Structure 1
C-alpha cells in the first residue's frame, strides 16, 4: 500500500517550509497569495488529507461548531434551514470538524446553552440562524468572546463598510428583483405579497421588487400577510376583488405563494405566482420560485470561519469587503 502523503511531502513539492504549509492550513490570511496557491496546488496534486484525531490532540481544541436545531414547523417552512444544516455538516466533516446540534426555544435559552458549551470547551465556535434586528444573541456572544458567524445579517448591528461581525446571507433583494423582472413579462401590474414591515429579511425582499418596478417605470400593489397559507390567501382574495387586479404576484416565501395560488384558483383566474425558497412544494405545484442555494451559504460560512482550507476555527479579520458574503440566489422558472 502506498504511503499517505505528509505535511513534509507537501512542503517539498511546493518549495516551502513545513510551517508555511501549516499556516496555509490553519491561518491562510497571513500567507502571501502566490505562496498559498503553490501550497494548495501541492495539496491537490498529492491528495494530502489531514488527520483529525492527531490535530485535536495537538491543538487541544474540540474541533466542534455549535448550531441550533430549529423547532419542527411542518408544512412549507423550515426546508431551507434543514438543507443548510445538512450542507454545513457535510462540509465541516470534509475539514475534520464536527457539528454539535442543540435545541433552544427562545433567544435567552440559546444564549444560556451556548454559554454552557463554550465554558465547557465543547465548541470552538457557533453559527447563528434566524437573525433579527438588534439581536440579543450577538451582544451576548460578543461579551463572552465566543467566535461566531451568522447565516443572516445581524440587522441593525452591522454594516458592510464598517463590519463588526462575520455573516453570510442570501441577497434577497437580488432574488425578488429577478422574480419581478420575470413577472413583468406578463403585465405591468405586478403585486408583492410580503410580511409586515420591520423584518430585515422581508424588507430586503420587498426592496428588490420596488427596484425592479421603479426601473420599469411602473407601480403595483404591496400586499401584506403574516407568514402562513391562510393569511396569504386572505390577502390575495381581497386584492382580486378590486377592479385593478394584479397581472402577477411576487411573494416573499413559498408559503405565501401557496396561499396566493389558492386565492387565484378559487377566483377562477390564471396569473403567475412566484415564490421564494424553491421548496419541494414549489416544484410539486409547479410555480416559479427563488432558489437560495443554502449549500453555497454553508461553504462561504466555513471559509469565513476557518479560511479556504483551514482545519481549525480562525475567523476572518473584520475588514470591509472581506468579513461578509452575499450569495446571489437563482430564479427557477416553471
Structure 2
C-alpha cells in the first residue's frame, strides 16, 4: 500500500511552504488567489483533499485538548507538572472540554503524535509544556495550523511587545525576589544555587535574586549545579569547604534545596535554605519554598485558549497585552 500524501507532499507539488499549505487548509482568505489555486490543484492531484477537508469542514468539534504526559524520571520537582495536568483536566471539564493525555519520549515523537491527533480531528488544540530555548515544536505547530498554548515561554522565539504565540508562565524572577527578601532577614549575604546558565527558566529565576541583591547593594555568591539532590549537595559542600560567606541560600529548585540542606547539616552550619516549587518534600522537611500555583496556570491557559465564548479561538496574530498570562508565585514560609 502506498503512503498517504502529507502536507509536505502537497507543498512540494505546489512549490510552496508547509505554512502556505496550512494557510490554504485553515485560513484560505489570507492566501493570494493564484497561490491558493496551485495548492488546491496539488491537493486534488495527490488525493489529499478528503483528509484535509474532513478536518477543516467537520460539522462538530472534538471538544478535546491534547497534552503530553512527560516520561517518569523520578526526582522531587516533577510533581509540579503532575499538579498542572490534574488542574487543567478539572478546569477543562468545568468548561465542557476534555483532555486527551498522550505519551511521548522526545519532541519528535510528540510532534508526530500531535499531527496524528490533529489530522484525525481528535483534538481541537494542544497545550505544550517543558518549553526550551528556540523550541522546535513551536515552529512545527505554527506550520501545521494547530492552535496551542504553552505552559512556559517559547524562549528565544517570542516577544512580549510583538507576540507571536500564546503562553502562560510563572514569574520566576518575582519568586526568587520574594525568597531573597525573606532571606535578607537572616543577614546581608544571600547566596544563590542555580542551574548552569542557558536555561530560560533558570536564568529568569536567577534574575530575581540578582536584581534584589543589586537593589540592596549586597552582591552575594552564585553557586552552580545540575538539577538533582546530589549535585546540589556537592556544590554546597565544595563552597563551604572553600569558606562560603553567606547568611542564607536561595535555590532554583527544591531538589537543589534538599541537597543544600544535606550539605549544611553535615557541616553543622545552620544556614537557612529556601527552595522553589513548594513540593511535598519542602513541606515534609519544613523548609521555605516558592509556590508556582499550577492551578492558576491552568486557569490562565484555558482563558487564552478558549476566551469568553467557550470555543477554542486562537487568533492568527495575538495582540500585545492579551497573548500572555504571567502568574506571580508566592513564598511559603516555614
TM-score normalised by length of structure 1: 0.81
TM-score normalised by length of structure 2: 0.81
How far residue 188 of structure 1 moved from its aligned partner, in angstroms, is 1.2
Task: Give the corresponding residue for 1:129.
Answer: 129
Task: Give the corresponding residue for 1:321.
Answer: 321
CA contact (8 A) 2:170 2:327 kept: yes
Rounded to whole Å, the distance in 2 between the matches of 1:115 and 1:77 is 29
Gaps of 5+ in 2: 1-57
CA contact (8 A) 2:77 2:277 kept: no
Q: Secondary structure at the match of 1:275?
A: strand
Rounded to whole Å, the distance in 2 between the matches of 1:220 and 1:191 is 5
Task: Give the corresponding residue for 1:108.
Answer: 108
Rounded to whole Å, the distance in 1 between the matches of 2:257 and 2:210 is 18
Rounded to whole Å, the distance in 2 between the matches of 1:59 and 1:214 is 58
Rounded to whole Å, the distance in 2 between the matches of 1:270 and 1:252 is 20
Rounded to whole Å, the distance in 2 between the matches of 1:300 and 1:75 is 27
1:4-49 Cα shifts (integer Å, max 9, x gaps): xxxxxxxxxxxxxxxxxxxxxxxxxxxxxxxxxxxxxxxxxxxxxx
1:124-156 Cα shifts (integer Å, max 9, x gaps): 000000000110000000000000000000000
Q: Secondary structure at the match of 1:126?
A: strand
Q: Secondary structure at the match of 1:67?
A: strand
Task: Give the corresponding residue for 1:88.
Answer: 88
How far residue 73 of structure 1 moved from its aligned partner, in angstroms, is 2.0
Gaps of 5+ in 1: 1-57
CA contact (8 A) 1:88 1:295 kept: yes
Q: Secondary structure at the match of 1:318?
A: coil
1:77-120 Cα shifts (integer Å, max 9, x gaps): 21110000000000000011000000010001101110110000
Q: Secondary structure at the match of 2:141?
A: helix
Over 2 Å off, 4+ runs: 242-245
CA contact (8 A) 2:161 2:320 kept: yes
Aligned positions of 1:161-240 closer than 5 A: 161-240=161-240
How far residue 244 of structure 1 moved from its aligned partner, in angstroms, is 4.0
Q: Secondary structure at the match of 1:66?
A: strand
Q: In the alignment, is residue 64 of structure 1 matched against residue 64 of structure 2?
A: yes
CA contact (8 A) 1:164 1:318 kept: yes
Q: Secondary structure at the match of 1:96?
A: coil
Rounded to whole Å, the distance in 1 between the matches of 2:60 and 2:166 is 24
Task: Give the corresponding residue for 1:312.
Answer: 311
Rounded to whole Å, the distance in 1 between the matches of 2:188 and 2:59 is 60
Q: Secondary structure at the match of 1:108?
A: helix
How far residue 72 of structure 1 moved from its aligned partner, in angstroms, is 1.1
CA contact (8 A) 2:75 2:228 kept: no
How far residue 59 of structure 1 moved from its aligned partner, in angstroms, is 5.3
Task: Tell me how many residue pairs correspond in the alignment.
Answer: 276
Task: Give the corresponding residue for 1:146.
Answer: 146
1:180-233 Cα shifts (integer Å, max 9, x gaps): 111011111111001000000000000000001001110111100000000000
